[in-house]
């Protein structure tokens, strides 16, 4: 028998090359330049509009390859019989047909090499149906390798590939020159001491912030590499300064691209701290290919407010930044280094968690920020907070522009869930099952709004084999059980560090620590304070003979909920767990008046809601009545939000709360609509007026409210407005597509709207969906895109206005001539002054000024 592993090499190149060429379209005249390399699938002849071969011809190519290989072996050395040769031909044909499906670009394929490219072709091609034996499998692999080698060789010889590669190399060189220019501008002459320390500090930043904690993996937590785990969310900002105008979204990591100073709001678990980590690591990476030129050559300083604000202590000056956050290389810092960095305008100052300091310290924090900004102008600043911790435009006088992190879209949720299950090594089918549950169950849909809650849902769904809690309290309770009780038992850990504490004892002690932090407006405490709280509780827990240090160590090391962010300091792993545990103890201690008296404070909002979830019916009714009768809007809305957390309430109390909510319906502004949606959830949908009951301006605010709710019920409510003639309503409905299930929203709402309103697209699937609707006139392309997708999937005759994301600018615009009806192209630069450029066929390209997102006219 012939050596099958050498058989492919015995098929002459002169025989294989013509067969491979039959699979691809011929080069046309001209260089065929586009701004990016093309996908291989776009070159395949049996997928082009003018096919030179059909899918059946792929079978013929495979059959010919097998025939020639067997002929080269000779009749006496055939490795397979006739039946298996047919099976090899079928498997090879199916694999070669993958050329019309893969999204690999030509230059990427060449970079893979023949072995990895062959593996790429084999992806999603199961071989078991073909029944290949050992000889047949080896023959299939050798012929696939041979074909792959010739395919890659063919790609490199195409004139368009060569021209494109020269263009790509030119563009890469231009970007490198730009990066060098930026570095030369931002890197003044440094002493060897400064340069050496800066390199060690950058390594520290990468090590300290280069991983994320993912809740629920291994029934606890696991560190996940930041570059793999980071999920790019969106940040919104008001258009033209009007708070009730439609919002324009940008990628969160781009918030500092067009504005040096940004105040970013986001709810608990929405990803604020993760974004801070990502920006810090990216700035410190000393890499220049991330496309964020504003971060090149800069030095990040991560300043968590809960760490640097100490009782009775002043906020740190720049020279004390590293020491204040417990940086281990602070002692090596050259004198005056931070000040030199800031004077050179190279700093990226990431101030995380204004909401995590006591209210009476926030004014001092604002003065501190103002003085630093004025003393060291030209640096980048990002300050984060929960939404209502401080008033609107809190830092506007200091030159900060405001942004807000959006809730995760359904696409974001799907991406997170799939990544989580891949990181956990779980069956992907489990993740798909969870996604179906989230999409079809309104309670779960309301919970899956940020990375923290999505991670908990993933963990519990896998841990409970598909059974999920349907409300927030049950979700936290299940998470606590998993973290505090089952984690060590299932890992067979028996408390070598500290005492072994029963579940109920752990919960009681953690509650006391949490409630003390909440009452004192603190995010962390001294270790000595934690020891005192634990020591006072031990006698009542029948642990008087156990040392408080031993108990403290057990809670710190085994619970998974406490951590020591710095020597001598302790806090909760996430504020959400602190609020949940503190609310439990507040109910046990019957501190209901204390809860209501603090309800106006943002820090206490979640505590009040979770206390309502824990309270018995009469206790919950008392809290709801007091909130509804508080006389301030926040109390009324908090009562409405709390009604969803209460299992049982007397009808009179429910009516009292709903009557109070009615005073806010219909909402008068965009902000009021957002607050109403956040507080009322699905409850508010039954109270909102229909399209025929309100004037056009109010109808817009009603639609924004339902969009803010974002549930299945909200989608059904919005269907009532799809035939509304108001331009504001139609514009709001078109802009909300990305917040719901894309396919269903397209069928039930977009299909009924005039095609003139702007819709955002993020993927090729979005473009395909619009194509099924007959195309769209105004398309806003968000994020990275391929020119091939735009030219192939947008209905060319329908497109009138095109908006492109500045984070991923095009290098050339010749491809715009593919759209004969195109009148304007807006490139959201967010940095350059407004200019107008001419592109092929007289199309105008409008580059708006910073902070301007208005549609250019004509």
SS (H, E, C) 392-440: CCCCHHHCCEEEEECCCCHHHHHHHHHHHHHHHCCCHHHHHHHHHHHHH
Strand 347-352 to 299-304 pairing: parallel
Identify whether 666 is preceded by a cis peptide bond (ω within 30 of 0).
yes
Q: Which residue has the tokens 């040096």?
A: 260
| Per-residue pLDDT band at 32 (split at 50, 70, 90) | very low
| Strand, helix or coil for residue 360 | helix
- What letter would DSSP give residue 76? T
Per-residue exposure over 845-854, b if at least 16 CB sit within 10 Å of its own CB, e if not: bbbbeeebbe
User: To the nearest whole percent, how much of the chain has pLDDT over 70?
Assistant: 75
5 vs 420, more confident: 420
- What letter would DSSP give residue 483? I
- pLDDT at position 512, please? 95
Task: Tell me the residue length of the chain.
Answer: 858
User: What stretches of 158-222 show up as alpha helix (H) in DSSP?
Assistant: 159-186, 192-209
* 823 contacts: CB under 8 Å, gap ≥ 6: 800, 801, 843, 844, 858
- pLDDT at position 718, please? 94
Calculate mean pLDDT across residues 782-806.
83
For the ranges 345-359, 470-484, 514-528, 785-799, the lowest mean pLDDT is seen at: 470-484
Of 279, 354, 346, 267, give the one whose Cα is nearest residue 315.
354
| Per-residue pLDDT band at 76 (split at 50, 70, 90) | low
Report angle CA 180, 181, 184 to the nearest 5 degrees.
85
What's the CA gap between 24 and 21, in Å, rounded? 6
What's the CA gap between 297 and 184, in Å, rounded? 9
Domain boundaries of the chain, sorted by first residue: 4-163, 202-406, 408-470, 471-587, 666-730, 755-858
399 vs 464, more confident: 399
What's the CA gap between 676 and 679, in Å, rounded? 5
Which among 184-193, 498-507, 774-783 has the top mean pLDDT? Answer: 774-783
Rounded to a whole number of angstroms, the distance between the first and last alpha carbons of the chain is 74
- Asked if 750 and 737 touch (Cβ cutoff 8 Å), the reply is yes
Domain 408-470 = CATH 1.10.20: no
- pLDDT at position 241, please? 39
Q: Which helix (H) or strand (E) holds 249?
A: strand 248-251
Of 343, 350, 206, 353, give the one whose Cα is nearest residue 284.
206
743 vs 320, more confident: 320
54 vs 590, more confident: 590
Strand 569-572 to 380-385 pairing: unpaired
What is the tally of helices (H) and strands (E) in the chain?
36, 18
202-406 sits in which CATH class?
A: alpha beta
- pLDDT at position 334, please? 94
The per-residue pLDDT for range 37-67, each reduced to its tens digit, is 445 555 454 443 333 444 566 787 788 888 8
pLDDT over 90 (residue 374): yes
What's the CA gap between 304 and 290, in Å, rounded? 25
pLDDT, the chain, mean: 77
- pLDDT at position 618, please? 93
């Amino acid at each position: 028998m012939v050596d099958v592993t050498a058989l492919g090499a015995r098929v002459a190149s002169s025989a294989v090359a013509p067969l491979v060429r039959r699979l691809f379209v011929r080069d046309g005249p001209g260089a065929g330049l586009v701004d990016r390399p093309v996908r291989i699938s776009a070159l395949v002849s049996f997928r082009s509009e003018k096919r030179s071969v059909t899918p059946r011809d792929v079978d013929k190519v495979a059959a010919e390859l097998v025939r020639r290989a067997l002929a080269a072996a000779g009749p006496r050395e055939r490795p397979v019989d006739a039946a298996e040769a047919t099976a090899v031909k079928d498997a090879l044909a199916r694999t070669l047909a993958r050329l019309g499906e893969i999204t690999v670009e030509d230059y990427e394929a060449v970079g893979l090499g023949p072995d990895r490219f062959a593996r790429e072709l084999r992806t999603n091609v199961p071989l078991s149906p073909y029944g290949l034996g050992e000889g047949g499998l080896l023959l299939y692999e050798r012929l696939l390798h041979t074909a792959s080698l010739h395919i890659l060789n063919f790609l490199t010889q195409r004139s368009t590939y060569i021209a494109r590669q020269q263009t790509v190399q030119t563009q890469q060189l231009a970007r490198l020159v730009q990066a060098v220019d930026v570095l030369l501008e931002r890197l003044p002459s440094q002493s060897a001491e400064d340069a050496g320390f800066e390199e060690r500090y950058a390594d520290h930043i990468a090590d300290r912030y280069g991983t994320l904690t993912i809740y629920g993996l291994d029934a606890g937590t696991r560190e996940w590499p930041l570059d793999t785990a980071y999920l790019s969310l969106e940040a919104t900002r008001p258009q033209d300064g009007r708070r009730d105008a439609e919002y324009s979204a940008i990628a969160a990591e781009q918030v500092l691209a067009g504005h040096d100073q940004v105040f970013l709001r986001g709810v608990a678990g929405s990803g604020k701290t993760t974004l801070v980590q990502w920006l810090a690591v990216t700035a410190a990476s000393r890499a220049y290919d991330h496309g964020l030129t504003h971060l090149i050559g800069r030095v990040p300083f991560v300043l968590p407010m809960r760490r640097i604000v100490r009782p009775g202590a002043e906020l740190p000056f720049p020279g004390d930044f590293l020491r204040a956050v417990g940086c281990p290389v602070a002692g090596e810092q050259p004198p005056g280094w931070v000040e030199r960095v800031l004077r050179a305008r190279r700093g990226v100052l990431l101030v995380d968690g204004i909401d995590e300091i006591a209210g009476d310290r926030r004014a001092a924090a604002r003065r501190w920020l103002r003085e630093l900004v004025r003393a060291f102008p030209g640096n980048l600043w990002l300050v984060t907070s929960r939404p209502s911790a401080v008033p609107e435009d809190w830092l506007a006088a200091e030159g900060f522009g405001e942004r807000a992190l959006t809730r995760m879209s359904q696409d974001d949720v799907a991406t997170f869930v799939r990544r989580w299950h891949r990181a956990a090594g779980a069956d992907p089918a489990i993740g798909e099952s969870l996604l179906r549950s989230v999409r079809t169950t309104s309670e779960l849909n309301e919970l899956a709004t940020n990375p923290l809650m999505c991670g908990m849902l993933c963990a519990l769904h896998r841990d409970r084999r598909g059974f999920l809690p349907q409300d927030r309290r049950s979700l936290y309770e299940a998470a606590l059980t998993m973290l505090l009780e089952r984690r060590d038992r299932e890992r067979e850990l028996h408390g070598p560090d500290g005492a072994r504490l029963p579940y109920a004892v752990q919960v009681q002690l953690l509650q006391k620590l949490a409630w003390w932090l909440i009452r004192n407006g603190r995010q962390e405490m001294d270790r000595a304070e934690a020891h005192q709280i634990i020591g006072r509780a031990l006698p009542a827990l029948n642990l008087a003979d156990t040392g408080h240090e031993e108990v403290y160590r057990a809670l710190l090391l085994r619970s998974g909920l406490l951590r020591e962010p710095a020597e001598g300091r302790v806090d909760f792993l996430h504020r959400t767990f602190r609020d949940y545990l503190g609310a439990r103890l507040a109910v046990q201690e019957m501190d209901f008046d204390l809860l209501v008296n603090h309800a106006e404070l943002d820090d206490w909002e979640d505590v009040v809601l979770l206390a309502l979830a824990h309270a018995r019916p009469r206790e919950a009714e008392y809290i709801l009545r007091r909130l509804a009768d508080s006389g301030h809007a926040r109390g009324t809305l908090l009562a409405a939000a709390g009604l969803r957390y209460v299992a049982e309430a007397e009808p009179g109390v429910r009516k009292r709360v709903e009557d109070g909510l009615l005073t806010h319906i219909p909402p008068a502004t965009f902000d009021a609509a957002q607050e109403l949606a956040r507080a009322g959830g699905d409850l508010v949908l039954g109270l909102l007026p229909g399209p025929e009951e309100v004037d056009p301006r109010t109808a817009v605010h009603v639609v924004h409210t339902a969009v803010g709710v974002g549930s299945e019920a909200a989608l059904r409510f919005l269907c009532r407005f799809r035939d509304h003639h108001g331009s504001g309503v139609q514009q709001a409905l078109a802009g909300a597509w990305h917040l719901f299930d894309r396919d269903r929203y397209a069928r039930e709402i977009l299909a009924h709207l005039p095609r003139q309103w702007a819709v955002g697209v993020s993927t090729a699937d979005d473009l395909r969906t619009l194509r099924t609707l007959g195309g769209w006139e105004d398309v806003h392309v968000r994020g990275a895109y391929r020119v091939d997708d735009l030219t192939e999937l947008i209905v060319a005759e329908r497109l009138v206005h095109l908006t492109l994301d500045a984070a991923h600018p095009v290098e050339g615009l010749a491809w715009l001539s593919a759209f004969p009806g195109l009148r304007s192209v807006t490139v959201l630069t967010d940095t350059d002054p407004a200019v107008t450029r001419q592109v092929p066929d007289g199309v105008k390209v409008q580059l708006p000024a910073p902070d301007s997102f208005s549609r250019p006219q004509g």
